[in-house]
Homo-oligomer: A and B are copies of this chain.
Amino acid sequence: MSFQPPQRVLMGPGPADVPNRILHALAKPTIGHLDPAFGVLMEEIKQLLRYGFQTKNDLTIPLSAPGSAGMECCFVNLVEPGDTVIVCQNGAFGARMRENVERCGATPVMVMDDWGAAINPQKLEDALKSHPEAKAVALVQAETSTGVLSDVETLCALAHAHDCLTIVDAVTSLGGSELRVDDWKIDAVYSGTQKCLSCPPGLSPVSFSPRAVDVISRRKTKVQSWFLDLNLVMDYWTSDGPRTYHHTAPINALYGLHEALLILQEEGLENAWQRHQTGHEKLCQGLNDIGLELLVKPEDRLPQLNSVLVPSHITDEAALRRRLLDQFNLEIGAGLGELAGKVWRIGLMGHSCRNENIQTCIQALKTVLN
């Protein structure tokens, strides 16, 4: 029997609510990936992504796989066996970066901060001084596992002062928080479509600086992944001359991304950032009104992902989330890793960041907590 999904209100760590405009775009007729009309779509997507990332980088494309493949793409292309990479870890995704560095045959140097804290620039500077051999610094701008926003501008400036490349996870920040790839001198950045872009999951927008592209093109060893080898992917997404077949792009998912990026452009990037901030403040006020506290201190909070401490009298937090889902069709996220059972993660991403959602969430929480 055909699958009929329930109509949820998605306020977890992603996916976010997908607007009807985007859902409709997904259902448009499929065309070939070598069709000239598809070439036009690809160029428009690249241009719109450049706006979202605030970059002029030529190599700005959506990878044909989810954000975790975007992360891997950055590492396997920029890192070679024997390299040293400084990884700032303050949650689950920094740990995943470490895994990626190790699987490239390189050595990770970890800069550790607590889950729930922002990355400490002083610790990064210390690591840079102790490891002059480091080739790159990797860090997460918006830690979805904790709800923390780190200061990418400062951290990247430190990395560049020590001649390191910068790799930034912007999965949950693109379209939701200030992100300026060129001004902040980010060399490699990856994101996902199912957070503040309000698309279904499945694609990973990435952007690479000319310096990063130069490093990739002068590698001594082949990229260990054929599918993610940017030397090949670039020729598929090229604007100059005929495109070289690499894989088959996910046509209909790209219709959705194109529509999502149009919506972002129509709203305006700064307006979208502000909407997330305003929504976050309203949510915090509402949570406060019903006696709930946030994990993260105010100055480090990520507007689009709010980690709420599970009240001590709740013995089965999973049952409570299940009740929100069953009774209110409301999804909020569980804690991840060392925060499992200790926090709920309330997402305000993209189309999910609306007053009606905030009200629904507060009312539903109030009901199930009483």
Contacts and interface: CB of A to CB of B under 8 A. Distances in A.
B23 A24 contact: no
Contacts of A67: 247-248
Contacts of A33: 15, 201
Given A26-B252, A253-B202, A31 B8 contact: yes
A250 B201 contact: yes
B32 A331 contact: yes
Given A72-B225, A100-B226, A227-B65, A250 B202 contact: yes
Nearest to A224: B224
Given A35-B325, A200-B30, A226-B103, A194 B8 contact: no
A76 to B, nearest CB: 8
Given A15-B30, A201-B33, A225 B226 contact: no
18 contacts: A2-B21, A3-B41, A5-B28, A5-B30, A12-B34, A33-B201, A34-B334, A65-B227, A68-B227, A68-B246, A72-B226, A76-B225, A102-B222, A104-B224, A200-B253, A201-B250, A202-B251, A253-B253
A39 to B, nearest CB: 12
A82 interface: no
B259 A200 contact: no
Interface string A33-69: 1111110010010000000000000000000111111
Interface in A1-32: 1-8, 10, 12, 14-15, 17-18, 21, 23-32
A135 interface: no
Nearest to A221: B103
B3 A222 contact: no
A194 B33 CA distance: 11
A123 to B, nearest CB: 25
